[in-house]
Amino acid sequence: MNMMHVISIPYSLMKVNPLSWIQKVCQYKAKVACVKSRDMHWALVAHRDQRDINLSSLRMLIVADGANPWSISSCDAFLNVFQSKGLRQEVICPCASSPEALTVAIRRPTDDSNQPPGRGVLSMQGLTYGVIRVDSEEKLSVLTVQDVGTVMPGAIMCSVKPDGIPQLCRTDEIGELCVCALATGTSYYGLSGMTKNTFEVFPVTSSGAPISEYPFIRTGLLGFIGPAGLVFIVGKMDGLMVVSGRRHNADDIVATALAVEPMKFVYRGRIAVFSVNVLHDERIVIVAEQRPDSTEEDSFQWMSRVLQAIDSIHQVGVYCLALVPANTLPKTPLGGIHLSETKQLFLEGSLHPCNVLMCPHTCVTNLPKPRQKQPEIGPASVMVGNLVSGKRIAQASGRDLGQIEDNDQARKFLFLSEVLQWRAQTTPDHVLYTLLNSRGTIANSLTCSQLHKRAEKIAVMLMERGHLQDGDHVALVYPPGIDLIAAFYGCLYAGCVPITVRPPHPQNIATTLPTVKMIVEVSRSACLMTTQLICKLLRSREAAAAVDVRTWPPILDTDDLPKKRPSQIYKPSDPETLAYLDFSVSTTGMLAGVKMSHAATSAFCRSIKLQCELYPSREVAICLDPYCGLGFVLWCLCSVYSGHQSILIPPSELEINPALWLLAVSQYKVRDTFCSYSVMELCTKGLGLQTESLKARGLDLSRVRTCVVVAEERPRISLTQSFSKLFKDLGLHPRAVSTSFGCRVNLAICLQGTSGPDPTTVYVDMRALRHDRVRLVERGSPHSLPLMESGKILPGVRIIIANPETKGPLGDSHLGEIWVHSAHNASGYFTIYGDESLQSDHFSSRLSFGDTQTVWARTGYLGFLRRTELTDANGERHDALYVVGALDEAMELRGMRYHPIDIETSVIRAHKSVTECAVFTWTNLLVVVVELDGSEQEALDLVPLVTNVILEEHYLIVGVVVVVDIGVIPINSRGEKQRMHLRDGFLADQLDPIYVAYNM
């Protein structure tokens, strides 16, 4: 238009020869040059090789990004070097522009070279509050800005508050600059809403009156209009982060980070700063590319210095500082860092940093106040409260055993050994047990008479070879199978007390054998019975390396039994004497043995027979470990009492053939089956893609009436639901799957039987639960937690919910400890290894008021009872028991009670690579251990995500995140996590983690 000769130098050429623009100015004696601060900076680095530079022809050196607060240092340094080459100070003309308003302001060259350009030294702290406070240049915490000249001719400019209605700022406030001019953009193409907010702004005075009838355009620049109408820019709107009500500019934080020693640590100055929203506030995240040659020590030194610098200069905490390898952050077309993509990668856990430092402890200051526990009100007022408000006391019971009329022949015998003798006489050829192998074929079976004869021979062996007296303890170390059952009844026939012990794992003797040894010693076993194979294993060289093999009691192997029968079968004098000991490692890692009397054992079997309607023509499939709890009772005792056939499937065989259990259920047309969570998980994971092929093989689960998961924990509703969904196509009725609940004091309190309503699910508010309150909410509401009823209360069992501290009864739908009274309660701990002082009141507690006569056993689990609208088999309204979690496992943090499972569920949802998680506390710090299924470079992605999700959902700050390989979190035979073992391993530094992050 005006015949100017324009020379344009592409970015790619500038990269090769940073001086090319200066050479062109000299060559053509150019009057105007338009450059960016970066071009000036590069020229400074490269000018030493160039001799004949003369810039005296320049009348205007337009600095296109002069609005950037850093450009002042580039301008000063450039002038410093090139003043001797003919460059005059007044020709440097910074300008401000934005995509919407185009050129907003430009400094024009003055004729007077003595008049220095406008400068402002502003206090950083003042800027965070949005006000202008002039400071002195000596300080570090100041921002020096240069003016970008005056407003364009014919334009009006004003400064408005950055958020809310566009109200004019005062003269000492920082605001967003708005322009009313002809030479600007007019709209965003196709985005009418955004156009209205940006291009059609009508600024108003403090009284609300508009200042002009013409619309203004938001420039996206933050600044103020200084003396003599000079425009100063301090930052951009899109880099603005509002943390705890104070504004920080991303560019300022980048500048501080880049100024930290060692200066060249960040690769080519590639650093991204953005904020993420965690727990109702913005949190600052810094991601920097580190130089390829930097060491771990350099990294941490630099990171800690950056944190200190930002804290002292900006007075703001950094939430997360991540370092990534050089050249890995997403780039914009011109080679800068693509901010929004970087933020997206960070949030979805795909950034793959090589170093991470999280500082939630220092910068999360808006956590809700910790809970202050109020002094408890006394018993009298609680009683009055209950009566006044008409609350039911939370108690419930199964059917009354005395009132049930059934033709139970086994009832006339006090002892299981007598029931077996009676069955061997009346139905000698009736098959009680069928053991399957991994191919699904019958490996072994036992009829009533075979079991009786085998038990007799074992009794002879115990008396003659073992020289045992009645009442001696015998450890049975057998794999799951028929031998274990025969050995158990052999002990009863000889008057000995059996203890079933899981045999050591041949591939893992070092860790499994000490537990066997411990149980044998703690139970004071006089002798140990086992198979020939395990007998050799116990005396092997590997065993000698793990334990002292010389201190084993006498070992009898039952593979060759004597031929003769005993002269008489022992009959106990009193039903209250000890029948067997049940040893198990609790989830808290404590080994506890409980005493089961003959009376309790018979009552237990009768209760299960009535609940599940078991009789001789029934078949029940059992895929459980037969060493403790309900698993042992179902495997060894129930068939003898009720006469039904038990199809025994050792869970270890499922590792070879995951479909074994379900194929057996289908083949034998089983109506009732029992399994553990680990079995259910194995089927869900192992058979997920095989349902079609199983259907083709004729797998049919439509006859299953009850499929019960045997557990000592809160029902895992997500696992049972995914199992039900997965096998629905194979005929499994969704209502068939349920859970049972038992614990050390009573091995089975609840079990979904055949009659009675289906298990119900309620949704409770997780926040109220932390305060030990139950608040029912709708499904899908925020913070809702689904809880499934733990089966029906067994016949002859009474339950009450009591306050664990005051021992007073609680009302319906109140959270408290579950106490149980039943004929099949265990009669006490035999010995507790590791905690001798464990309360004797676990088995004999009384309420502090109300019904103070009944003796209850304390389960150690928190839960609540809720009366439902459903009716029970006996026509009364049904009371549902919901188990929330173990008291021993619960973590007291910030005055609230947290259950590990809830935090773990949140963590597993946080990232696709987290397969399992366990949490525990260590010196008031929350430690989160996550198992990573993925490449090791994903390990560090998990640290911010885990910290975020626990902050958001549980209001807790994570102290340590430990990322480990799959299979590190120990799990017991019931599929429950052994969090205390894990804690011990963590403290002893035995986890061999991929990465450990200590949050600051």
pLDDT confidence of residue 744:
87
One-character DSSP codes across 94-126: EEEEETTTEEEEEPPPPS-TTSPPPEEEEEHHH
**CA–CA separation, 442 and 429 (whole Å):** 17
Q: Is the pTM of this model over 0.85?
A: yes
Residue 327, Ramachandran bin (φ over 0: left; ψ between -120 and 50: alpha; else beta):
left
Q: What is the pLDDT of residues 338-388, one digit of tens each?
A: 999 999 999 999 999 999 999 999 989 888 888 777 665 545 444 444 433
What pLDDT sits at residue 912? 92
Question: Residue 85 gets which letter from DSSP?
Answer: G
Query: Model confidence at 566, in pLDDT bands (50, 70, 90)?
Result: confident
The dihedral region occupied by 977, where left means phi > 0, alpha psi between -120 and 50, and beta the remainder, is: beta
pLDDT > 90 in the chain, percent: 61
pLDDT of 113: 62
pLDDT tens per residue across span 313-322: 999 999 999 9
Encoded tokens for 399: 């059917």
262 upstream amide cis, omega within 30 of 0? yes
Query: Could you give phi then psi for residue 620, rounded to 5 degrees?
Result: -125, 130
CB-count burial class (<10 Å; 0-12, 13-18, 19+) for 534:
buried
Report residue 268's pLDDT band, with 50, 70 and 90 as the boundaries: confident
Among all chains, which residue has been given the structure tokens 């060249």?
264
What is the DSSP-derived secondary structure letter of residue 903? H
Q: pLDDT tens across 893-950, in order?
A: 988 999 999 999 999 999 999 999 999 999 889 999 999 998 888 999 999 999 999 9
DSSP 675-720: E-HHHHHHHHHHSTT-HHHHHHTT---TT--EEEE--SSS--HHHH
- Quick check: helix, strand or coil at residue 17? coil
Identify the CA nearest to 162 among candidates 269, 51, 242, 274. Answer: 242
Distances (CA, A) of 265 to 71, 271, 274, 336, 495: 22, 11, 20, 18, 77
User: Shortest CA distance to 611 belongs to which of 341, 384, 404?
Assistant: 404
Separation of alpha carbons 423 and 471, rounded Å: 25
Q: 3-state DSSP call for residue 293? A: coil
Question: 553 exposed, middle or buried (CB, 10 Å; 0-12, 13-18, 19+)?
Answer: middle
Which residues are within 8 A (CB) of 22 and not within 5 positions of it... i.e. 6 or more apart? 43, 47, 50, 53, 55
Phi (first) and psi of residue 294, to 5 degrees: -80, 145
Q: Do you know the residue count of the chain?
A: 1000
DSSP secondary structure letters along 835-895:
-TT--GGGTSB--SSSS-SS-BEEEEEEEEEEEEEEE-TTSSEEEEEEEEEETTT-EEETT
Burial class (CB within 10 angstroms; exposed 0-12, middle 13-18, buried 19+) of 397:
middle
pLDDT tens-place string over residues 292-304: 999 989 899 999 9
Report the C-alpha gap between 41 and 13 in whole angstroms: 16
- Asked whether the predicted pLDDT for residue 833 surpasses 70, the reply is no
Question: CB count, 10 Å around CB of 215?
Answer: 15
| Closest to 290 measured CA to CA, from 329, 233, 259, 343 | 329
In this predicted model, what pLDDT tens digit does every residue of 466-497 receive, in sequence order? 888 888 999 999 999 999 999 999 999 999 99
> Confidence band (pLDDT; 50, 70, 90) for 228?
confident
Q: What pLDDT does 385 receive?
A: 42
Mean pLDDT of the chain: 89
- Please state the rounded mean pLDDT for residues 382-405: 66
| DSSP β-ladder status, 266-278 and 442-447 | unpaired
Span 700-711, pLDDT tens digits: 999 999 999 998
pLDDT in tens, 179-219: 999 989 999 999 998 999 999 999 999 999 999 999 999 99
Angle (CA) 870-871-873 rounded to 5° is: 140
Which whole-number Å values give the CA distances from 981 to 587, 748, 977, 988, 994, in the listed order?
Answer: 9, 25, 9, 10, 19
